[in-house]
Amino acid sequence: MKALEIKGLRKTFRSNFMLKKYRVLKGIDLEVERGEIYGFLGPNGAGKTTTIKCVLGLLNADGGEVLVEGRPVAAIDSRRCVGFLPENPYFYDYLTARELLTFAASLFDLPPPAVRERIGALLHRVGLSGREDLKLRKYSKGMIQRLGLAQALINDPDLLILDEPFSGLDPIGRKDMRALIFSLREAGKTVFFSSHILQDMEMMVDRVGIILDGVIRRQGKLSELIARSTQYYEVACTGIAEGRLAQIQSNYAVRDGHYVLTLASDADVNLVVESIIHNDGRIIAVTPVKMTLEDIFFSEMRNGQ
Ligand SMILES: Nc1ncnc2c1ncn2[C@@H]1O[C@H](COP(=O)(O)OP(=O)(O)OP(=O)(O)O)[C@@H](O)[C@H]1O
Ligand SMILES: [Mg+2]
């Protein structure tokens, strides 16, 4: 069973007294495996938050199906195993972290001693021990974000849905958030997080889904998406007369005293390497140059235009 399955999800917003329609989700299909970190990547306005709201039952979709741990989202029961960190969480300024978490826990059926214990453990886990009785207006953005995560974890959910968890965090805050997300996976949780920041995804997700303009354009294991996406090969060589090299392959540069040739396919690599050796040259390296997630993302964006 998948942790989350979305099939053909559609959502249209209407405005101007229903005259104008905005088709925001145009048939989203994605699957999140249990125990993985899934990156939901897309530019501003692509439909990430709208998708998440449909998954949480905060918005009613126009069509399609959402299954959380195999159960349709329409069943309130399906949300018992879900924790949610909203985009830019805002909490009442005059509460303390302990009060906020006590309130969050009260929504679930937990005995008071268990609540106290869990709140202490969660505050420790997100690095807010010692700050639990400070009013939230004195919290920094990073502390609010970490408290939001503690709040999302209060019911010990199996699936965590985090909408832009890195937004507004400085490098240290991002590093902490990354470590927290990794620790959730280690604890066997499934983490689904949205972002438009490619670098964060590249460093941490098992699989990624790229959403553009309300459609999932690519989905897969990050390693496979990137492995399948070798852009070109570089062959570094030396010892061959430049005139001979130019006859073999005109597309070359001189780098660090070597010739570096750029080739499109592995078949070309084989032919060129043979010719270089045949002409008394020496091969120093053959390097496949892979696309980064950023290259994949931008090539999808270009294709969509
Ligand atoms: N309630 C609404 N009524 C009308 N349009 C809406 C509503 N909510 C969202 N939209 C529109 O839907 C589109 C997708 O918005 P959404 O918030 O899902 O994007 P996003 O991918 O989360 O973007 P961001 O990275 O900026 O958070 C946007 O064009 C937005 O203006
Ligand atoms: Mg959003």
pLDDT tens per residue, range 194-230: 998 777 788 899 999 999 989 999 899 887 777 667 7
Residue corresponding to tokens 């993302």: 297
Distance 44 CA to ligand 1 centre (A): 8
Ligand 1 atom at shortest distance from the alpha carbon of 87:
27
Q: Is the pLDDT reported for residue 172 higher than 80?
A: yes
283 pLDDT more than 80: yes
Ligand 1: centre distance to CA 24 (Å): 7
Q: If you take atom 26 of ligand 1, which residue's CA is the nearest one?
A: 44
Three-class DSSP category at 215 = strand
Distance of CA 128 from the midpoint of ligand 2 (Å): 26
Test site for ligand 1: of 11, 12, 13, most ligand atoms within 8 A of the Cβ: 13
Choice from 6, 11, 48, 161 to test ligand 1 binding pocket (greatest atom count within 8 A of CB): 48
Q: Which atom of ligand 1 is nearest to the CA of 53?
A: 18
Please give the Cα distance from 269 to 160 (Å, whole number): 45
Residue 116 main-chain phi, psi, to 5 deg = -60, -45
The mean of the pLDDT values for the chain is 90
User: Residue 240 and residue 259: Cα distance in Å, rounded?
Assistant: 9
Do 71 and 225 touch, CB atoms closer than 8 A? no
pLDDT at 305 over 70: no
- Asked whether 46 lines ligand 1 (CB < 6 A), one says yes
Domains, the chain, in order of start with CATH, read 4-226 (3.40.50.300), 229-303 (3.30.70)
Identify the residue whose C-alpha is closest to ligand 1 atom 2. Answer: 13
Rounded to an integer, what distance in angstroms lies between the CA atom of residue 79 and that of residue 129? 28
- Per-residue pLDDT tens over the stretch 88-140: 888 888 999 999 999 999 888 788 888 899 999 999 999 999 998 999 999 99
Distance of CA 48 from the midpoint of ligand 2 (Å):
5
Please write the tens of the pLDDT for every residue from 284-295: 999 988 777 777
Ligand 1, residue 51: give the atom nearest the CA: 18
d(CA 299, CA 291): 10
How far apart are the C-alpha atoms of 219 and 211, rounded to whole Å? 9
Tokens 């008071």 correspond to what residue? 112
Q: What is the pTM of this model?
A: 0.82
pLDDT digits (tens, 9 = 90+) for 148-162: 999 999 999 999 999
Token pair of 111 as six digits: 């005995």
| Residue 173 Ramachandran class (φ > 0 left, ψ -120 to 50 alpha, else beta) | alpha
42 pocket-lining for ligand 1 (C-beta < 6 Å): yes
Does 108 sit in the ligand 1 pocket, CB within 6 Å?
no
175 three-class SS:
helix
